[in-house]
Every structure is written in structure tokens, then in C-alpha cells.
Amino acid sequence: MLQGKTIAVTGATNGIGEVAARELARSGAEVIIISRSESKCAATAAKIKSETGSQLVSYIAADLSTLDGMRYAADTIRERFPKLHVLLNNAGGLFTKRQVTADGYEMTFALNHLSYFVVTNALLDLLKATAASDGEARVVNVSSGAHYSARGVNFDDLLRKQGYNAFGVYSETKLMNILFTNELARRLEGTGVTANSLHPGFVRTGFGMNNGGWFVRLFGIVSQFAAISPEEGAQTSIYLASSPEVRGVTGQYFTNKQIKTPSAAARDSYLQEKLWRVSEELTAARVV
């Protein structure tokens, strides 16, 4: 059981994020759901309270595609909560057309990678303090098996001005999730804070439905026959956030609650360090 634990989940108003938040609340954790829409956050928090009987569910409405939104989410957690035992970075998206955020970054890169980087780094002091007082804290990053399709990181064109392929960009950001996780794990050695990434599976959710048109039709057809349910897809996230079996385990990539070897690119220590350095320069984040 998770009584006395505080867990923040980004992208928690639908799909596997909502399921993870609900089940972690059901297990006794105090859960903070983070998503862009105030109304969806409020509705999801109320729904989780009703379904679990737990009143320890709160929310922060923040646009995690913007640096201001990322920092607001982290600042609010630090202001409201004395401890943070788990940060579950789950927010993400796939966009068929290139979009640019308010900060001038390509949307997929900002939401799928920079939000993990900025929010996590802004909360590291709180996570470390929690680990020091309570024995451990965890960062769990939702990646994807799509990362195997990415051969590396195109540092020369992170904003994708020279060409945009939706799945290619998505795959690259999912590779970034693992690169970031592994570099974070290395930097956190000895602090009691662990960092692991995961592939949730091909999940039947509202993911990508913002694109409309042909993507929705195709994704809907494929999902009907091949996808697993959000309840199934959330299991590895829940496991990494809560199971005593992974206490002390860090810098690993999981599928179906099992450690799996990620791509060679994901294991490249040079890419891990370079992505960290570039992300730091782009966001001016306070980092370990």
C-alpha cells in the first residue's frame, strides 16, 4: 500500500495516465494530476475520488508544451507539498503537422522531451529531500518501443525546419526519453532517487486523436484490432511507481514489468550527455 506517499502524474486526464493516477490513489497514495485543461483536471480528480473513495487527489492545470507551464507545474508542487515520492512523466503527443510552441520549439520535442527534462530537474531537490527522509524517491518516464526506429538525435535540426515526419519525430523524442532517463540515473547515483523508463505497449486511448482526418481513421482501425486497453497499458507505469520489487533499480528500460534492452542509440553515453547539455542550454534549467 502507498499510504503516506505523494505521487505526481503528468498527462493524467485520459489514457494510461488517468488509469495510473486512479490505481495509485486506490492504493493509498496522495496523487497530483497534471494536465493542460482546468476543466478536464477537475473532472478527472472528481472521477478518481468517486471511483476510489480517496480524497487525496488534487490537480494542477499547466500547459506542459511551454516552459512557463512546465515551471509553473513544478513550482506549484514545491509550494503545496512537503514531499514527493514519485514523479511519473507521462504527458506526450504525436502531431501529424509541424507545430511550434509559444517558446518557438517544435511541439513534439517540447511536450515529449523538454517537459520531462524541465519538470524533473525543477523537482529534484524535493525528490532528493524525500529520499533522504523516507529512504527513496522515483522518477518514472513513459517512453515507447517506437524509439527503436530512431537511429539517433538530429541535433542540427531539433526544431525540424528542414523536414517534418510525424512518426520519425515522435520516435526520436521517445529515444530522448530513454537517453534522459539514463543520464539522470547516472547523475543521481547515491541520492536514493531512481530513474527508469518504460514502453507501455500499443494502447487504445485518445492518443493522437487531436490530429483529426486520416490519422484518426487509420489509428482507430488499427487500435480496434491490435491495441491493448489503457488498464493493461498502465500496468508497467504503476509497477515502477509503486512496487517494492524495483526499489533501488535505476537506469533501466521496462516492458511488461520486465527489464528489456533498449536500442544501441539509447545506450550511447555520448548521446545521453549531449542531449542533457543541449536541453540545459535550451531551457536554462537548474540541473544536477
For residue range 15-69, what is the model confidence (pLDDT) as tens digits? 999 999 999 999 999 999 999 999 999 999 999 999 999 999 999 999 999 999 9
pLDDT in tens, 54-98: 999 999 999 999 999 999 999 999 999 999 999 999 999 999 999
What's the domain range around 51?
6-283
Whether 59 sits among the annotated catalytic residues: the reply is no
Radius of gyration of the chain (CA): 17
What pLDDT is attached to residue 230?
Answer: 86
In a domain, 288, yes or no: no
Chain length of the chain: 288
* Distance separating alpha carbons of residues 14 and 233, to the nearest angstrom: 12
In a domain, 1, yes or no: no
Stated as kind and residue range, the H or E segment containing 19 is helix 15-26
Q: Which of 59, 116, 170, 253 is catalytic?
A: 170
DSSP string, 176-229: HHHHHHHHHHHHTTTTTEEEEEEE--SB-SSTTGGG-HHHHHHHHHHHHHHPBP
* Distance separating alpha carbons of residues 5 and 67, to the nearest angstrom: 27
Contact 34, 8 (CB under 8 A): yes
What pLDDT is attached to residue 205?
Answer: 53
Grid cell of 41 as nine digits: 483536471
Strands 86-89 and 137-142: parallel
In a domain, 113, yes or no: yes
Q: State which residues of the chain have pLDDT below 70.
A: 203-227, 285-288
CATH for 44: 3.40.50.720
In a domain, 257, yes or no: yes
Percent residues over pLDDT 70 in the chain: 90
What pLDDT is attached to residue 218?
Answer: 40
- Nearest-10 crossing angle of helices 15-26, 38-52: 40
Contact 44, 13 (CB under 8 A): yes
Instruction: Provide the whole-model pTM.
Output: 0.92
* Distance separating alpha carbons of residues 158 and 6, to the nearest angstrom: 34
Any residues with CB less than 8 A from the CB of 205 and at least 6 apart, and which?
14, 15, 16, 230, 233
What pLDDT is attached to residue 284?
Answer: 83
* Distance separating alpha carbons of residues 174 and 143, to the nearest angstrom: 5
What pLDDT is attached to residue 206?
Answer: 52
* Distance separating alpha carbons of residues 167 and 72, to the nearest angstrom: 29
What pLDDT is attached to residue 114?
Answer: 98
Our count of domains for the chain comes to 1
What pLDDT is attached to residue 285?
Answer: 57
